[in-house]
Chains A and B, each alone.
Chain A
């Protein structure tokens, strides 16, 4: 398989309808956040009366693009043109005035307002006294809903009473009422049932027939092929291909998504894999995952790949005692454990390093050594009193091995860089001397140097016989570090493969449910 060099040339530039000029054109859009380049000179065109699918791995830059289009973020560089005219979108209101509207995964409307109020918020019909003309508003709402075939929705109902599918309908009604020309749908099907998805597609077809330009963001290939006319593929913040969907196979799309240069070097290691240590059998959760069984062996790194929302973090939280599974069992070294809290799991020897470092990992305001010793306070106390010297010794041992860069271990952990904070978080968990460590997106949003340090350290840990579960949405990391890879999709474990000649396309196909 050929990995196209980046930035790849657009694969296809044909326009099926040929005659239409794009309604919205983005060119050369770049956006950086501290330490991360989210978008690097991307372009995108949306055509009236057509649905363009935006495809990319998690974190390829789609959500940043949506935020730029809806006026939440400002691009560092680049131009936005609507109907040939250059525009800026400094605020959400400016985006609205330019006829751009977005429908999100979980609609962002107001639960405590009525349907009519939601539809007309910000542009309600007025009486001659300047107050809101409630009767006209209700009548107009009725009319818009009827054109959408949503006669069953009462304009006076509170939004909170509606299901997600009906909330989407209200959001679309709102788009119609402001005469939006550009409709962005950011994973609108994520929380819908199959029947509701079909209804949503009928609506999208209606919007298309009304001449709206639609951007449809989804990770699900069957949906993309069902509804979209065109595609644009993002990878690592760059646009790597665009064209007409009918000319492209699913396989080609996947290849565009994952093909990339190797820009990271992973530590070489000699896996020394022992007996099964952690056994998870038929573990289920009422809403998040079902019937998960796998084994983790001593000295093994088991990668967990999947799309965001596939239930990986939720599964790991259950194993680490944060939530209770409804069925199934977890055993460690042949002994059944049913952790009721993270403290139980830590005692049993399982630790979970959560994904969101700032919210779930570090405690800003406490010094480094107090962050590290927090789960190990029992071990650093004697006769009920904390021994600061012991806390420092523990901290020094583990932060030293992770090559932490800090002036002093007494400094506030908030003064460290993201990469060094992550090292503190990992040190904190290692200090509890676990047998199994679960790392959830261990290198998300940290610089290359810190990434390499974390990877090298993982290799060191497994060499010492520790077992690692690594949840990651980064294919290079999954393929570079794992001994075996488990893939989850929609709350189920769809495959476990040895990482031996495993190629990224196979994983993406498994995770996205592509059959072709």
Chain B
């Protein structure tokens, strides 16, 4: 099955290469390394978010509140920066991560301790966190001129030829790669997603594993909250409205099974890159954004159809009372 997953990732990689090649026929500059790095930089936020979502989906859950979490956290740090420009940006970065983690933990606690289905919990917090953003800001925006120069400069600062935003994307990929393949937590996330009952017998606390996955997705949403407002130099209630579906789409295209337990960091990254390239390439060759949506949608259905064929049929396992 590992081999099968690898194969899927190779197919996705081939699809991405084909996409780049097609665009390069019309617009050769698109395939230049410098431009591809720009595309990667543009996609870094989606990659970070997709990795957090992946951890949640692998445990048979879903986090629909990520984009709202991002908006709230982004607003909180932007307002803090506007009010107290002397606070160091690194502190704000830390603050964004902590706020995001707390919001994620709230989702996780509801799922773990109250046993509410994750889709219901996060559908609720999707609205709650977006509403809280409005309450926090009173509906007002934080504009570029209210942000301190350091606040705006951090993601753009270059190290070894790459902007900080790209480096953060690479750091997230490395972090998740090690976490998922080399730690007991990563192993528990896979085990709990594939067969929660057997995992409980093996001494894994499935509920706590889901909780931690939600903390991770919240943390990534919080980090992205800062990155988003500083990159687009605006914080508003509308930031990343509806983006939760793009995040889930990246995971699905990347071969993360919505039924849990199947998927990899490579898949999530490639899924995000696929969407990033479509978003960057189509305007270049003058294709309307509506085509973009149609292409993304087709990719999702194709990916799910391919994955459905690859996965062995397995029923969802409903936990018996004694085991939950």
Asked if B312 contacts A343 (CB within 8 A), the reply is no
Q: Would you call A385 and B203 a contact (CB within 8 A)? A: no
Binds B, one of A34-42, A158-166, A354-362, A445-453: A354-362
Instruction: Name the A residues within 8 Å of B322 (CB-CB).
Output: 314, 317, 322-323
Q: How far is the CA of A323 from the CA of B199 in the complex (A)?
A: 15
Bound together, the chains give a CA A407 to CA B165 distance in angstroms of 45
A213 close to chain B: CB less than 8 A: no
* Count of interface residues, chain B, beta-carbon cutoff 8 Å: 28
Q: Does residue A189 face the partner (Cβ distance < 8 Å to B)? A: no
B195:A370 contact, CB within 8 angstroms? no
Q: For the complex, is A18 an interface residue (Cβ under 8 Å from B)?
A: no
- Taken residue by residue from 192 to 205, chain B's Cβ proximity to chain A (1 for < 8 Å, 0 otherwise) reads as 00110111111111
A201-241: which residues lie under 8 A (CB-CB) from chain B?
none
Tell me the B287-324 residues at the A interface (CB within 8 Å).
312, 314, 317, 322-323
Given A360-B197, A364-B312: A341 and B184 interface contact (C-beta under 8 Å): no
- Taking CB atoms, residues of chain A closer than 8 Å to B187 are 370, 374, 377, 386
Q: How far is the CA of A224 from the CA of B312 in the complex (A)?
A: 44
CB closest residue in chain A, given B190: A366
We find that the number of chain A residues with CB closer than 8 angstroms to chain B is 33
Asked if B178 CB lies within 8 Å of chain A CBs, one says: yes
Q: Is the pair B2, A352 in contact by a Cβ cutoff of 8 Å?
A: no
Chain A 358-408 interface residues, beta-carbon cutoff 8 Å to B: 359-367, 370, 374-375, 377-378, 381, 384-386
Report yes or no: B203 in contact with A341, Cβ–Cβ below 8 A: yes
Chain A residues 304-337 with CB under 8 Å of chain B are 314, 317, 322-323
A346 to B1, CA, bound (A): 30
Q: Which of chain A's residues have a CB closer than 8 A to the CB of B197?
A: 359-360
Contact status B195-A386, CB under 8 Å: no
Are A363 and B194 within 8 A (Cβ)?
A: yes
Q: Which residue of B194, B200, B312, B314 contacts A366 across the interface (Cβ within 8 Å)? A: B194
Instruction: For A412, list chain B residues within 8 Å (CB).
Output: 1-2
Q: Cβ of B34 < 8 Å from any Cβ of A?
A: no
- Chain A residue numbers with a CB within 8 Å of B261 are 365
* Per-residue A-contact encoding for B1-41, CB less than 8 Å = 1, 0 else: 11000000000000000000000000000000000000000
The prevalent SS among residues of B at the interface is: helix
Given known A359-B195, A360-B197, A375-B203, contact A385–B2 (CB-CB < 8 A) = no
Does B183 contact A381, Cβ atoms closer than 8 Å?
Answer: yes
Contact partners of B195 in chain A: CB under 8 A? 359, 362-365
Given the known inter-chain contacts A365-B261, A377-B187, please indicate yes or no for A343 contacting B205, CB distance below 8 A. Answer: yes
- Please tell me if the beta carbons of B191 and A363 are within 8 angstroms of each other in the complex: yes
In chain B, positions 167-222 with a C-beta closer than 8 Å to chain A are 178, 182-184, 187-188, 190-191, 194-195, 197-205
Say if the beta carbon of B262 comes within 8 Å of chain A: yes
Contact partner of A359 (CB less than 8 A), chosen from B198, B203, B204, B205, is B198
Determine which of B2, B182, B203 lies in contact with A367 in the assembled complex, contact meaning CB atoms within 8 Å: B2
Number of A-B contacts (CB under 8 A): 80
Bound CA–CA A394/B156 (angstroms): 48
Q: Whole-angstrom distance from the CB of A320 to the nearest CB of chain B?
A: 8
Query: Is there contact, CB below 8 Å, between B201 and A352?
Result: yes
Interchain CB contact under 8 A, B201 and A322: yes
Q: Is A259 an interface residue (CB 8 A)?
A: no
How far is A354 from B323 in the complex, measured between Cα atoms in Å? 12
CB distance from A156 to the nearest CB of B (A): 30
Q: What CA separation (Å) do A377 and B182 show in the bound complex?
A: 11
Bound CA–CA A101/B206 (angstroms)? 41
Which residues of chain A are near B191, meaning CB under 8 Å?
A: 363, 366, 370, 374
Question: Given the complex of chains A and B, what is the CA–CA distance between A359 and B322 in angstroms?
Answer: 14
A384 close to B183 (CB less than 8 A): yes
Tell me whether A22 is interfacial, beta carbon within 8 Å.
no
Q: Is A342 an interface residue (CB 8 A)?
A: yes
Complex contacts, A317 vs chain B, CB 8 Å = 322
Closest residue to B262 on the A side, CB-wise? Answer: A365
Contacts of B204 in A (CB 8 A): 343, 374
Q: Given A317-B322, A322-B323, A412-B1, are A361 and B201 neighbors across the interface (CB < 8 Å)?
A: yes
B256 to chain A, nearest CB (A): 14
Chain A residue numbers with a CB within 8 Å of B203 are 341-343, 345-346, 375
Q: Which of A136-153 contact B (CB under 8 A)?
A: none
CB-based contact A354/B201 at 8 Å: yes
> In the complex the two chains form, is A363's CB within 8 Å of B312's CB?
no
Q: Distance (Å) between the CB of A283 and the closest chain B CB?
A: 15
| Chain B: minimal CB distance from A447 (Å) | 22
The reply to whether B194 and A365 form a contact with Cβ atoms under 8 Å apart is yes
Q: In the complex, what residues of A have CB within 8 A of residue B188's CB? A: 377
Is the C-beta of A428 less than 8 angstroms from some C-beta in chain B? yes
Asked if A414 CB lies within 8 Å of chain B CBs, one says yes
Question: What residue in chain A is nearest B200 (Cβ atoms)?
Answer: A342
Bound complex: CA of A317 vs CA of B201, how far in Å? Answer: 9
Cα separation A32 to B195 with both chains bound (whole Å): 28
**In the bound complex, what is the Cα–Cα distance between A374 and B199 (angstroms)?**
8
Given A323-B322, A374-B191, A377-B184, also A365-B200 (CB < 8 A): no
State how many angstroms separate the Cβ of A231 from the closest Cβ of chain B.
35
- Chain B residues within an 8 Å CB radius of A370: 187, 191
Whether the Cβ atoms of A386 and B183 lie closer than 8 Å is: yes
Is the pair B178, A361 in contact by a Cβ cutoff of 8 Å? no
For the complex, give the distance between the alpha carbons of A94 and B123 in Å.
Answer: 45
Give the docked Cα–Cα distance between A361 and B183 (Å): 22
Q: What chain A residues lie within 8 Å of B201 (beta carbons)?
A: 322, 342, 352, 354, 360-361
A376 to B35, CA, bound (A): 47
Contact of A374 among B1, B2, B202, B205 (CB under 8 A): B202
Closest to A353 in B: B201
The answer on a CB contact under 8 Å between A385 and B194 is no
| Bound-complex Cα distance A323 to B184 (A) | 25
Which B residues touch A428, using CB under 8 A? 202
Q: How far is the CB of B72 from chain A (nearest CB, A)?
A: 31
A385 x B202 contact (CB < 8 A):
no
Give the CA-CA distance A352 to B182 in the complex, in Å.
Answer: 27
Shortest Cβ distance from B156 into chain A, in angstroms? 33
Output the nearest chain A residue to B203 by Cβ-Cβ distance: A343
Chain A residue with Cβ nearest B199: A363
| Chain B minimum-CB-distance residue to A365 | B194
Kindly provide the distance from the CB of A415 to the nearest chain B CB, expressed in whole angstroms.
Answer: 9
In the bound complex, CA of A366 to CA of B5 (Å)? 12
**Min CB–CB distance A327 → chain B (angstroms):** 17
Would A360 and B198 be within 8 Å (CB), given that A322-B322, A374-B191 are in contact? yes
Kindly provide the distance from the CB of A235 to the nearest chain B CB, expressed in whole angstroms: 31
A412→B205 CA distance, assembly (Å): 23
Cβ A385 vs Cβ B323 within 8 A: no
- Cα–Cα distance between A288 and B195 once the two chains are bound (Å): 25
User: Which residues of B does A touch, CB under 8 Å?
Assistant: 1-2, 178, 182-184, 187-188, 190-191, 194-195, 197-205, 261-262, 312, 314, 317, 322-323
- What are 18 residue pairs bridging A and B, where the CB atoms are less than 8 Å apart in the complex? A322-B323, A342-B203, A362-B198, A363-B191, A364-B195, A365-B1, A365-B261, A370-B191, A374-B191, A377-B188, A381-B183, A381-B184, A385-B178, A385-B182, A385-B183, A412-B1, A412-B2, A428-B202
Beyond A343-B204, A385-B178, 10 extra complex contacts between A and B, CB < 8 Å: A343-B203, A352-B201, A359-B198, A360-B201, A363-B191, A366-B190, A366-B191, A384-B183, A385-B182, A385-B183
What are the 4 tightest A-B residue pairs by CB atom distance, in nearest-first order?
Answer: A343-B203, A377-B184, A375-B202, A374-B202
